[in-house]
Amino acid sequence: MRNPIRRRANWVIVVTYVVALLLSIWPLPDWAEPFRPAWLVLTTVYWCLFLPHRVGLLVTFVVGILMDSLTGSLLGEHALALLLVAWVTLKLHLQIRVYPWWQQTLVVLNLMLLYSFVLFWVDGMLGYTQGSLLRWMPVLITTLLWPWMMQLLSALQQRYQVS
């Protein structure tokens, strides 16, 4: 990190998170809203996987709180779900990194199930459980997006030498 070129590449991480937040609230037609991928989970999993010494729990917590404010959910709801995802990813990052892409996708499926379950659980306690089948739609879509998202982010990481 003493290398000035490396240090400058911090902005790439910030930009990916900001774009993920933008996409999370981008207006969609009503029918398409339940199909919105969890961009924030993909971004968090990627950076925790490949830059665990830079993007960790604290960054995840801050981004999660910002997401809570953006979506108007209970403060800490998305932060808690993202923290769990980040924690599992960080714990297993050395293993997951060497998996072939389809095994990584399976890992992301499980992480998304965990994430959606926490959100579902908190919302259930508050009494907002309507549309419960559609709730699991983002799990599928986000999982299917992982291979492409990984290609994109790793291309970015290599292009700007983020490490």
Q: Which residue ranges make up the site for other proteins (CB under 8 A)?
A: 18, 21-22, 25-28, 30, 33-34, 36, 48-50, 52-53, 56-58, 61, 64-66, 68-77, 79-80, 83-84, 86-87, 90-91, 93, 97-98, 122-123, 126-128, 130-131, 135, 154, 158, 163
Least distance in Å: CB of 108 to other proteins?
A: 15
**Residue 21: CB partners within 8 Å, gap ≥ 6?**
39, 40, 63, 66, 67, 70
User: Of the two residues 68 and 143, which places its CB atom closer to other proteins in the complex?
Assistant: 68
Identity of the residue, 4 or 127, whose beta carbon is nearer to other proteins in the bound complex: 127
CB 127 within 8 A of CB 115: no
CB of 58 to other proteins, least distance (A): 7
CA dist 59 and 29 (Å) reads 31
Distances (CA, A) of 132 to 13, 35, 143: 33, 13, 19
- The nearest distance, CB 142 to other proteins, in angstroms, is 13
Nearer to other proteins among residue 62 and residue 113 (C-beta)? 62
Of residues 34 and 147, the one with the C-beta less far from other proteins: 34
> Could you tell me which of 34, 32, 29, 139 has the C-alpha nearest to residue 81?
139
Compute the least distance from the CB of residue 79 to other proteins, in Å: 5
**Least distance in angstroms from the C-beta of 55 to other proteins:** 9
Report which of 159, 143, 118, 150 is spatially closest to residue 9, judged by C-alpha positions.
159
> With the CA atoms of 6, 57, 152 and 111 taken in that order, what torsion angle do they form, in degrees rounded to the nearest 10?
160
